[in-house]
Amino acid sequence: MTPFAEAVRRLREQKGVTQKEMARAIGVSPAYLSALEHGKRGTPSFDLLQRISGYFNIIWDDADELFRLAGTSAPRVIIDTVGLPPEYTAFANTLARDIRKLAPTVIDELSAVLQKGRSCD
């Protein structure tokens, strides 16, 4: 499941509607919405994000957060290391191979390191 999928599922459950009801209301198939909620579909289009935000009648800040989550929820990620030193490519490949084996605490630690690295720029 992706962060975006988790947020949509939570909103849908809070509203008390089924996937089928929501899918009909936003103009997608129930199968597509199910795949989106299970992280088996890529990032939704801007138009679909607007329809989802409108369907839940969420305020601007919450809609902005939903759009941000969608932007960080692609289930298949490509890391371009062209032109970077070899250790960057090795790291990216090791992460891709081993990410399913990492404990949630390790993911939290790596996320903190990445956040710290971004704040140094």
Q: 68-87: per-residue pLDDT in tens?
A: 999 888 778 889 999 999 99
Q: Are 13 and 27 in contact (CB under 8 A)?
A: no
Asked if 25 and 65 sit in the same domain, the reply is yes
> Which CATH number fits the domain that encloses residue 29?
1.10.260.40
What is this structure's pTM? 0.70
Same domain flag for 105 and 48: no
Rounded to whole angstroms, the Cα distance separating 57 from 88 reads: 43
Q: What are the distances in angstroms from CA 94 to CA 75, 84, 88? A: 18, 16, 10
Same domain, 65 and 109: no
Per-residue pLDDT at 121: 61
In this structure, are 45 and 22 located in the same domain? Answer: yes
State the pLDDT at residue 88: 94
Q: Domain limits at 101?
A: 86-119
Q: Are residues 63 and 106 in the same domain?
A: no
pLDDT > 80? residue 63: yes
